[in-house]
């Protein structure tokens, strides 16, 4: 049976002392040897000198690794967890600095794996749990299973702090039962952490692998797999050490995985599923692109845009800004183009903070010389253009009988002529290289006549964008250039906060099956998909993202 929260503290204060690591043990032995050498006049000075040197190197390593790991964040200093996953302020042990190193290593794993769900099997120090939790996204979760609660601070103190309780679930009880329960409810984890210093660790490892508790590209970390260096010594009779040695051997001979032991603290094995070895055992399986992934890439990797060069017009705010971030996060270099250079520069700065290569340019897309200038500048800097995101657009409102020629021309000039100029200039580069992705921003107004706002010129311009997209999409596909468009519904951006449109928001909401306006983040996956090679067979398509509004 699994007990949820019990009142005592689960995690002991850090138990980390130097002697827990192989290097710490070497240092301890060298220290003893040095004492003996110093008390014996027969020992040559040169031998004492070498002993001293070796001791300094051994003693210095672990503290140096700690010191060079990113310092603990303010929110982690002095905090531990109680059994209910509640933070508790306690004074950290003096000799526990090395907990920070492991915490930092684990946090790195969480980032690298992109982990959302973490399973801990056995005792893990509170600091490590909090360090991992810090790296989790908001909807991430840590499930910790332990046989019994640890001793520690009283529950009353603990309950004063509860900010992390939602992300950490502690299950106390027989671990085998807890694991069965997790399988029964279909749980799946990105990182599974097993403490080797528990008798049944090998059973837990086998259970995890046999029952697919680890997701496809997930990682198992096993702590304490070096057992202070004892695990590789001969003539060892200690049962605990032998159990860990057996665990290491089981993992090492398991054809389903590949692994490495890192000499971090007591030793940390990092294990991942290895499809190649597993496949050798299953000869009758069909091993085609569906199995291995097209070009040996799994589906999410096929959405990546690494090495690609993109630009986004109207990238200084709203939908364009969200597109620029999305393309950059997926790996592309991104040029931000906007009528207002200052806006483009702000977005470029945001991308720089994330490590995304970028440039900012001011341009009016309705002017051919501006369009040519931005494409020349991108090619001069990055060599080419793979992804053209023609998004800049304006919206003006008037009853059709009152629509001025000025409004008509201005709207068509930016929304349609400007978009055509961009498609043509980018298309010429793409046709030459035999590859390109053009993504135009149309609008739901291309499919329906949105009401009650009156926007003849806008509706016509966006219908034109769709026809232009279909025409180019079919004309250029056989030369490697795909042209598609996205038609957002009503998106919560500055564009709809104009004096004319603002009062209509409540009215629109009744027309949207989804019952809410779109956020710019609702559109980001679509632009990445259309920019990626995963959508290579798609062209001339108008992808509506409107919460169902065009269907009512």
Which residues belong to the active site? 458
Point out which span in 122-130, 150-158, 295-303, 309-317 binds ligand NAD (CB under 6 A): 309-317
Q: Which of 80, 98, 248, 317 binds ligand NAD (CB under 6 A)?
A: 317
Q: Which residue has the tokens 């290289």?
A: 433
Q: Which of 395, 411, 455, 539 binds ligand NAD (CB under 6 A)?
A: 395
Half-sphere exposure at residue 407, Cβ-oriented, CA atoms within 13 angstroms: 17
- Using the minimum distance from each CB to ligand NAD, give the nearer residue, 98 or 395: 395
CB neighbour class for 275 (10 Å; exposed up to 12, middle 13-18, buried from 19): middle
- At closest approach, how far in Å is the CB of 502 from ligand NAD? 12
Give the 3-state secondary structure of residue 482. Answer: strand
The one segment of 85-93, 171-179, 311-319, 527-535 that binds ligand NAD by CB under 6 A: 311-319
Q: Which is nearer to ligand NAD, 37 or 414 (CB)?
A: 414
Q: Please, which residue, 271 or 419, has the CB nearer to ligand NAD?
A: 419
Residue carrying structure tokens 């000075």: 45
Output the six-digit token pair for 241.
């050490």
Select the residue interacting with ligand NAD from 320, 427, 436, 547 (CB under 6 A): 320
Of 144, 178, 224, 313, which one interacts with ligand NAD (CB under 6 A)? Answer: 313
Q: Which stretch binds ligand NAD (CB under 6 A): 91-99, 189-197, 427-435, 486-494?
A: 486-494
Determine the Cα angle at 90 with ends 88 and 94, to 5°. 145
- Binding part of the chain for ligand NAD, among 231-239, 295-303, 315-323, 537-545 by CB under 6 A, reads 315-323
Determine which residue in the list 266, 318, 328, 540 makes contact with ligand NAD, applying CB under 6 A: 318
Contacting range for ligand NAD; rule: CB under 6 A; set: 52-60, 61-69, 188-196, 393-401: 393-401
Closer residue to ligand NAD, CB minimum distance, 99 or 393: 393
End-to-end alpha carbon distance in the chain: 51
Q: Closest distance between ligand NAD and the C-beta of residue 530, in Å?
A: 15
Residues 491-550 that bind ligand NAD (CB under 6 A): 491, 493-496
Binding status of residue 407 toward ligand NAD by CB under 6 A = no
Count of residues that bind ligand NAD according to CB under 6 A: 31
Based on the shown chain and the rule CB under 6 A, indicate whether residue 441 belongs to the binding site for ligand NAD. yes
Rounded to the nearest 10 degrees, how much is the dihedral formed by the CA atoms of 4, 7, 10, 11? 140
Q: In terms of CB distance, is 194 or 371 closer to ligand NAD?
A: 371
Among 170, 319, 335, 528, binds ligand NAD (CB under 6 A): 319
Please report the DSSP string for 337-368 in residue order: EESSHHHHHHHHHHHHHTT--EEEEE--TTSH
Binds ligand NAD (CB under 6 A): choice among 88, 144, 248, 391:
391
Regarding 122 and contact with ligand NAD (CB under 6 A), the answer is no
Q: How far is the CB of 406 from ligand NAD (least distance, A)?
A: 15
CA distances (Å), origin 35, targets 40, 46, 58, 271, 510: 9, 15, 16, 41, 84
Segment 361-380, which members bind ligand NAD (CB under 6 A)? Answer: 363-366
Query: Side-chain half-sphere of 16: how many Cα atoms within 13 Å?
Result: 29
CB of 507 to ligand NAD, least distance (A): 14
115 and 84 Cβ atoms separated by less than 8 Å: no
Give the whole-angstrom CA distance, residue 218 versus residue 177.
22
258 makes contact with ligand NAD (CB under 6 A)? no
* Chain-centroid distance, C-alpha 161: 28
126 contributes a contact to ligand NAD by CB under 6 A: no
Between CA 204 and CA 151, with CA 25 as vertex, the angle to 5 degrees is 50
Asked whether position 423 contacts ligand NAD by CB under 6 A, the answer is no
Q: Does 430 bind ligand NAD (CB under 6 A)?
A: no
The side-by-side arrangement of strands in the sheet containing 542-545 is 358-362, 333-338, 309-313, 387-390, 436-441, 481-488, 542-545
Phi-psi region of 105 (alpha: psi -120 to 50; beta: other; left: phi over 0): alpha
Rounded to a whole number of angstroms, the minimum distance from the CB of residue 492 to ligand NAD is 7
What phi and psi values does residue 288 have, to the nearest 5 degrees? Answer: -115, -165
Among 49-57, 77-85, 249-257, 390-398, the segment contacting ligand NAD (CB under 6 A): 390-398
Instruction: Give the sign of the dihedral formed by CA 63, CA 64, CA 69, CA 73.
Output: positive
- Does position 447 bind ligand NAD by CB under 6 A? no
Helical residues (DSSP H) of 434-504, grouped into ranges: 456-476
280-285's contacts with Cβ under 8 Å and 24+ in sequence apart are 280/255, 281/255
Looking at 103, 488, 540, 547, which residue binds ligand NAD (CB under 6 A)? 488
Which span sits near ligand NAD by CB under 6 A: 37-45, 77-85, 294-302, 388-396?
388-396
**How far from 459 is each of 15, 22, 445, 456, 512, CA to CA, in Å?**
68, 72, 5, 5, 18
User: Exposed, middle or buried: residue 12 (CB in 10 Å: 0-12, 13-18, 19+)?
Assistant: middle
The Cβ of residue 192 has, within 10 Å, a number of other Cβ atoms equal to 24
Q: Is 338 a binder of ligand NAD (CB under 6 A)?
A: yes
The span of 27-35, 65-73, 209-217, 334-342 binding ligand NAD (CB under 6 A) equals 334-342
Among 340, 379, 449, 551, binds ligand NAD (CB under 6 A): 340
Which of 197, 247, 490, 526 is in the footprint of ligand NAD by CB under 6 A? Answer: 490
C-beta closer to ligand NAD: residue 59 or 543: 543
Report the alpha-carbon distance of residue 301 to residue 270 in Å, rounded: 22
Question: Is residue 393 involved in binding ligand NAD (CB under 6 A)?
Answer: yes
27 binds ligand NAD (CB under 6 A): no
Q: What does the binding site for ligand NAD look like in residue numbers (CB under 6 A)?
A: 313-314, 316-320, 338-340, 343, 363-366, 391-395, 414, 418, 441, 443, 488, 490-491, 493-496
């Amino acid at each position: 049976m699994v007990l949820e929260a019990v009142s005592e503290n689960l995690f002991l204060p850090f138990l980390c002392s130097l002697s827990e690591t192989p290097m710490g043990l070497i240092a301890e032995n060298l220290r003893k040897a040095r004492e003996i050498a110093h008390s014996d006049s027969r020992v040559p000075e040169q031998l004492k000198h070498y002993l001293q040197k070796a001791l300094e190197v051994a003693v210095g390593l672990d503290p140096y690794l700690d010191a060079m790991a990113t310092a603990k964040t303010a929110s982690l200093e002095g905090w531990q967890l109680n059994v209910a996953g509640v933070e508790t302020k306690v004074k950290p042990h003096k000799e526990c600095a090395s907990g920070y190193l492991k915490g930092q290593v684990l946090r790195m794993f969480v980032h690298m794996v992109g982990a959302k769900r973490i399973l801990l099997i056995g005792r893990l120090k509170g600091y490590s749990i909090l360090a991992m939790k810090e790296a989790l996204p908001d909807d991430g979760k840590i499930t910790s299973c332990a046989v019994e609660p640890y001793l520690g601070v009283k529950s009353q103190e603990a309950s004063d702090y509860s900010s992390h309780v939602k992300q950490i679930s502690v299950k106390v009880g027989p671990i085998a039962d807890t694991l069965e329960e997790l399988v029964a409810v279909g749980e799946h984890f990105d990182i599974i952490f097993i403490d080797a210093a528990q008798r049944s660790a090998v059973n837990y490892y086998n259970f995890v692998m046999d029952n697919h508790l680890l997701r496809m590209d997930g990682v198992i970390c096993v702590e304490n797999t070096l057992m202070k260096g004892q695990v590789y010594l001969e003539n060892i009779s200690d049962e605990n050490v032998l159990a860990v040695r057996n665990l290491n051997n089981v993992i090492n001979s398991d054809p389903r995985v590949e692994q490495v032991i890192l000499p971090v603290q007591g030793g940390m094995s990092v294990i991942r599923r290895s499809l190649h070895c597993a496949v050798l055992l299953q000869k009758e399986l069909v091993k085609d692109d569906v199995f291995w992934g097209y070009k040996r890439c799994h589906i999410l990797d096929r959405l990546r845009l690494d090495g690609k060069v993109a630009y986004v017009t109207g990238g200084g705010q709203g939908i364009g800004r969200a597109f620029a971030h999305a393309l950059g996060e997926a790996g592309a270099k991104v040029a931000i183009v906007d009528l207002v250079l200052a806006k483009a520069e702000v977005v470029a700065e945001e991308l720089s903070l994330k490590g995304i290569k970028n440039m900012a340019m001011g341009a009016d897309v309705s002017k051919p010389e501006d369009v040519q200038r931005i494409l020349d500048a991108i090619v001069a800097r990055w060599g080419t253009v793979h992804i053209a995101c023609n998004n800049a657009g304006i919206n003006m409102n008037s009853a059709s009988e009152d629509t001025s020629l000025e409004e008509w021309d201005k709207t068509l000039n930016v929304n349609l002529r400007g978009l055509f100029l961009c498609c043509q200039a980018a298309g010429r580069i793409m046709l030459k290289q035999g590859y390109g992705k053009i993504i135009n921003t149309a609008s739901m107004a291309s499919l329906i006549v949105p009401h009650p706002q009156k926007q003849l010129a806008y509706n016509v311009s966006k219908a034109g964008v769709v026809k232009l997209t279909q025409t180019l999409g079919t004309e250029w596909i056989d030369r490697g250039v795909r042209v598609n468009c996205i038609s957002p519904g009503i998106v919560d951006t500055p564009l709809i906060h104009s004096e004319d449109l603002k009062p209509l928001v409540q009215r629109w909401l009744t027309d949207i099956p989804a019952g809410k306006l779109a956020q710019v983040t609702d559109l980001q996956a679509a632009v990445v998909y259309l920019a990626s090679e995963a959508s290579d067979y798609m062209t001339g398509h108008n992808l509506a993202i409107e919460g169902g509004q065009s269907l009512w």
